[in-house]
Structure 1
Amino acid sequence: MGRARYIVMMGLVLIGLGLLAGRIVDLHVFERTFLKGQGDARTLRVDEIPAHRGMITDRHGSPLAISTPVVTLWANPQDVPEDGIQRLRLAQALGQDLDALNKRLARYSEREFMYLERRMTPGAAQKVLDLRVPGVHARKEYKRYYPAGEVAAQLIGVTNIDDKGQEGLELAYQPYLAGVPGKRRVLKDRRGRLVRDLEVLKEAEPGGDLTLSIDQSLQYMAYRELKAAVEKNDADGGTLVMLDADTGEVLAMANQPSYNPNNRASLDPAGLRNQAIVDTFEPGSVIKPLAMSALLETGKFPPDTVVDTSPGWMVIDGYTIRDVSNNGKLTLTGILRKSSNIGMSKLTLQLDKPVVPRRYRALGFGSAPGTGFPGEATGSVPSPRVWSSSQWAALSYGYGLSVSALQLASAYTAIANHGKRLPPSLLRLDQAPQGKPVIEPAIADKVLGMMDEVVAPGTGARRGMVPGYRVAGKTGTVRKVGSDGYQQSTYRALFVGIAPVSDPRIITVVMIDHPRGDEYYGGAIAAPVFSRVAGSALRMLDVPPDRSSQDDDDE
């Protein structure tokens, strides 16, 4: 009986040893690949190599948006010790409240990842890492910095905490600027700590650099003058656009209100909008020279045409159209000098074709400017099947349509370029575009000369004069629309100017929104801003004067 028991026990032992040996053979021979993969999955990792975001510069290479290296600290909550002293030291190094840190660790206790602090400076992050708290790790990232701050904020835009474009050109050119992240294989321990870099699987491809058309010096100057005018006149805001008259490039684009993209703690959402491109308004009298070009091109009005604007008001379709004063008989140039709504209306109503709205569309109103900027406005030019006389008249003096400041500036490139309109560009161009002929050259030159006479001593636009330079310009004062129609005491003050007249170099649009001071007319509010900005810009661009100092003294 004892021998039989011994044989049975030995048999069981041998069977067990045989099964164990078989399993060992199975694991080492047949399942070797599977087990190796499972082991590697717990030690080998593929990490992302962040790509360096491309730089945004002005036309001369001065940086407007750059990416700087930062460190993001993260933790595996399951590995962070519960020791009170270690947690206190960690919270102090992070600059966080201990109770808040403990609550976050408890909330993520069943996960293996949580952020401790995003985008720290390398020095500050290293102080935390030197504590050697288990479960705390670092990851290299980049943070966007904007040297120009609020001066060009709405144009350039911003990135979010993950360095992805959210507004402005940062958003428009996100794929180009972002680049392509790389990949690397690394060896990590069971706590997720890096043991060794093994190999780079794919190099990161840095983002492309973006060269804008703006001149940073002009941008600073334009922003300073616009901000000062808005504050002086207690206005809601304003915008300024300066174009290169030869290329259509945007040399400066300023907006108020603005914001500091480097510190968004107290960001006002209203400051995010690039009003110059995304907002529209009725242009009012600043559009009269463009309408005049269409009227002259019909051949119906010779240069010596005189229009009687007395008694300073007229009724059309039950609507009363008024001038600021009774100007009596006016020449075509006089209509622009006096900014006569009556004169423009009487000329327009002599025609049986909608030449004025056609001219507006040819100049780009009602269509997107094509800059690629997110949310750029198209504006509107109405096209009803049956035009009423009051609609025809209103369009000729700038009501009944809407435009953006950029569209308005772009339209005036046709006056400055002998009838060829240039598309606006936010990027620096290697060569000037050919432009699209939209106005007969002789007519464009005629209107430029008329606008030259508008900006003269004794006119409402006299404050737009620039010492040493001839200026072609036009003022505008537009009632704003409210819930009950046009408001009686809220206005937009505008000025459009081309300088110098002898060889146009810049085109500038200034709009001040709802000035609350004693003065609100475009000639009093917007024209002085143009004068200061244009004067400084022409000197910065080394444009030779086309007006003698003696002429200035005589006037």
Structure 2
Amino acid sequence: MKRFALKSNGSLYPWRFRLVIGLLGLCCAAVVWRIAELHVLDEGFLRSQGDKRSVRHVPIPAHRGQITDRNGEPLAVSTPVLTIWANPSQLIDQQAHWPELASALGTDLATFSERLKANADKEFIYLRRRMTPASGEAVMALKVHGVYSIEEYRRFYPAGEVAAHLVGFTNVDEQGQEGLELAYDQWLQGVPGKRQVLQDRRGRLIKDVQVVSNARPGNDLRLSIDLRLQYLAHRQLREGMQEFGAKAGSVVMLDVHTGEVLAMVNQPSYNPNNRANLQPSMMRNRAMIDVFEPGSTMKPISMTAALATGRWKPSDQVNVYPGTLRIGRYTIRDVSRAPGGVLDLAGILLKSSNVGMSKVALDIGGEAVHDAMAAVGLGEYTGVGFPGESVGKLPTYRTWRSAETAALSYGYGLSVTAVQLAQAYAILANDGRKVPMSLLRVDGLPDTQQVLPEDATRMVQEMLQNVIEAEGGTHRARVPGYHVSGKSGTARKASTSSKGYQEDSYRSLFAGFGPSSDPRIAIAVVIDEPSNGGYYGGLVAAPVFGGLMSNALRLMNVAPDNLASLEQPALPSPPALATTGEPR
């Protein structure tokens, strides 16, 4: 048998040994080169990889801009709060601390345990959002492993339900959801900042390194409303509704010269700070969204159209006997009969004669009435930018039939909002000049547009003052110390389930302005479905107008223009004395 002789180094194949040694040497050289490359030529890579495992960027919350009234009174502010969150994969092993943690969070232990176990495989869940700083710090003081906090802001509304429909509210992430919070969401939103921190592998803070970018708070928003007038309107409307058992209502107050909305309230309302049992119907800004037939409050607009044609003068008379007017298959009726069956134009407004107004409108044509109503902004947006604003409906026809013309002249066959109604009367009060409406404070006097003839509107102003002050007028709208002007209206509510109108279902309306000598304020009052004591606008809505106008003019330091109404009757002279010095 042939034997192989081994060399002295014991290697059978020396070239294999050298190959292995060479490969090991190349591997060592590659490792050394890589180490040198990383530490000398490309050290930024190692640094970035290390930073990814320890350096974090934590957002710095930015508070939302403040909303104030025209005088700087806060209507919406952002307050600092703490949001508590947890890493369930860490907290699941801390069962001994669960009872005290659940108690501090304000929840029962069973619910807390069930939720934590259901999310045991996750690394992030909210335990409770937007806690007050004191409550949040009490939770963090327990020092439970796996529980952390985030600084956030919560929206608070100091005026509560008084300004809720106008201001609106935000969601839990401070994003606008309703009202002006939604309309000006981008303007109010802040830009969060960024802070660089060092954390360990468990997410615990080691060091606050630096602020990368500062948080930028949102812009403030100053509204046109006066919170004092807003409170007055809210109280006056609520009392009026309670007295007559009404279902809902709205009040809008405008500055005649600037177009600013000084007050806008609705009932029923809600508390934006506590929306636990909030019903969707309570959030509706009825003054901007609900539309209705304005009834007799449109007669002053129709009368202005008649005077503007030059065919009619205030002294012209109309025969309204016997208080009805037959047009085709429709019969127009007056609620109150005119003495002698004849009325001048002022008497038509004073008696609110549908027959008289219809005859005037039939003489000038439906197109003239339509154009006057369109000129004061009916059937179009007000331009205030409120979310969901309704435009209403102002019909137009190629050929105006008699029934359509007559109905339009006394406020039927069209639909408006309370804001549009207030704007129409503000234009009448401003001698036919239209001013852009605004929900934001206006500095200075804006540009105006003459949309109705000045002489015609001034004649109607005198007629509307007569409506309130003359014998048989709407005395409930009177304001002691001031001459005011206005017109009531009572409109039947249209049926939603069938054609025609509902039985015993009305809206009570009143719109006007004051003081008559130099109008400053225009007010529209809408009260929906009064059920106790009556439903006529002069009975239900007029006292709300009168009470609010009285308080508003005094609050705004408007000089009285009717001091005679404030004069006290002369006191009787004291009884004559007898010679004994004793009274007889």
> Residue 245 of structure 2 aligns with which residue?
234
CA distance in 2, matches of 1:163, 1:133: 29
CA distance in 1, matches of 2:566, 2:90: 82
Pick from 377, 384, 409: which aligns with 2:422?
A: 409
Instruction: Measure how far apart 1:5 and its partner are.
Output: 9.5
- The letter for the 2-side match of 1:435 is T
Matched, 1:195 2:203: no
CA distance in 2, matches of 1:452, 1:287: 16
Residues 256 and 427, structure 2, Cα contact 8 Å, conserved in 1: no
Instruction: Measure how far apart 1:106 and its partner are.
Output: 2.4
Pick from 296, 321, 325: which aligns with 1:310?
A: 321
> Residue 58 of structure 1 aligns with which residue?
69
> Residue 539 of structure 1 aligns with which residue?
554
- The letter for the 1-side match of 2:553 is L
> Residue 338 of structure 1 aligns with which residue?
351
> Residue 522 of structure 2 aligns with which residue?
507
CA distance in 1, matches of 2:472, 2:10: 131
Matched, 1:170 2:190: no
Q: What is the TM-score normalised by the length of structure 1? A: 0.95
Matched, 1:119 2:127: no
Instruction: Measure how far apart 1:326 and its partner are.
Output: 2.4
1:31-89 deviation line (CA, Å, top 9, x unaligned): 75444333322212222221121111111111111110001111111121423211222
> Residue 424 of structure 1 aligns with which residue?
437
> Residue 87 of structure 1 aligns with which residue?
98
Pick from 490, 499, 504: which aligns with 1:477?
A: 490
Pick from 248, 263, 276: which aligns with 2:287?
A: 276
1:215-248 deviation line (CA, Å, top 9, x unaligned): 1111111101111111222111100001111211
> Residue 454 of structure 1 aligns with which residue?
467
> Residue 153 of structure 1 aligns with which residue?
164
- The letter for the 1-side match of 2:400 is W
CA distance in 2, matches of 1:353, 1:232: 39
Matched, 1:217 2:232: no
Residues 467 and 552, structure 1, Cα contact 8 Å, conserved in 2: no
Instruction: Measure how far apart 1:17 and its partner are.
Output: 7.7
Matched, 1:26 2:41: no
1:129-153 deviation line (CA, Å, top 9, x unaligned): 1111111111111001100000010
- The letter for the 1-side match of 2:129 is R
> Match of 1:205, SS?
coil
- The letter for the 1-side match of 2:34 is D
> Residue 535 of structure 2 aligns with which residue?
520
Instruction: Measure how far apart 1:110 and its partner are.
Output: 2.4
Instruction: Measure how far apart 1:362 and its partner are.
Output: 1.0
CA distance in 2, matches of 1:70, 1:550: 56
Matched, 1:388 2:401: yes
- The letter for the 2-side match of 1:23 is V
Instruction: Measure how far apart 1:9 and its partner are.
Output: 9.3
> Residue 491 of structure 1 aligns with which residue?
506
CA distance in 1, matches of 2:21, 2:119: 49
- The letter for the 2-side match of 1:340 is S
Residues 55 and 198, structure 2, Cα contact 8 Å, conserved in 1: yes
Matched, 1:36 2:52: no
CA distance in 1, matches of 2:567, 2:286: 35
CA distance in 1, matches of 2:512, 2:551: 14
Residues 277 and 404, structure 1, Cα contact 8 Å, conserved in 2: yes
CA distance in 1, matches of 2:302, 2:529: 25
> Residue 581 of structure 2 aligns with which residue?
none
Q: Per the alignment, do residues 24 and 165 of structure 1 end up closer, same or farther by CA in structure 2, a change over 3 Å counting?
A: farther
Residues 225 and 532, structure 1, Cα contact 8 Å, conserved in 2: yes
> Match of 1:325, SS?
coil
> Match of 1:264, SS?
coil
Q: What is the TM-score normalised by the length of structure 2? A: 0.91
> Match of 1:412, SS?
helix
- The letter for the 1-side match of 2:31 is R
> Match of 1:52, SS?
coil
> Residue 574 of structure 2 aligns with which residue?
none
1:407-439 deviation line (CA, Å, top 9, x unaligned): 111111221111101121111100121211011
Matched, 1:263 2:265: no
Larger Rg: 2
> Match of 1:258, SS?
coil
Q: Per the alignment, do residues 431 and 59 of structure 1 end up closer, same or farther by CA in structure 2, a change over 3 Å counting?
A: same
Computed over aligned residues only, the root mean square deviation of the Cα atoms, in angstroms, reads 2.1
> Residue 253 of structure 1 aligns with which residue?
264
CA distance in 1, matches of 2:310, 2:137: 77
CA distance in 2, matches of 1:74, 1:458: 71
> Residue 349 of structure 1 aligns with which residue?
362
> Match of 2:70, SS?
coil
- The letter for the 2-side match of 1:395 is L
CA distance in 1, matches of 2:367, 2:100: 77
CA distance in 2, matches of 1:460, 1:518: 19
Residues 137 and 193, structure 1, Cα contact 8 Å, conserved in 2: no
Residues 81 and 134, structure 1, Cα contact 8 Å, conserved in 2: no
> Match of 1:383, SS?
coil
> Match of 1:330, SS?
strand
Pick from 132, 145, 164: which aligns with 1:134?
A: 145
- The letter for the 2-side match of 1:520 is Y
- The letter for the 1-side match of 2:329 is G
CA distance in 2, matches of 1:477, 1:99: 58
Identity of aligned residues (%): 49
> Match of 1:539, SS?
helix
Shifted more, 28-37 versus 470-479: the winner is 28-37
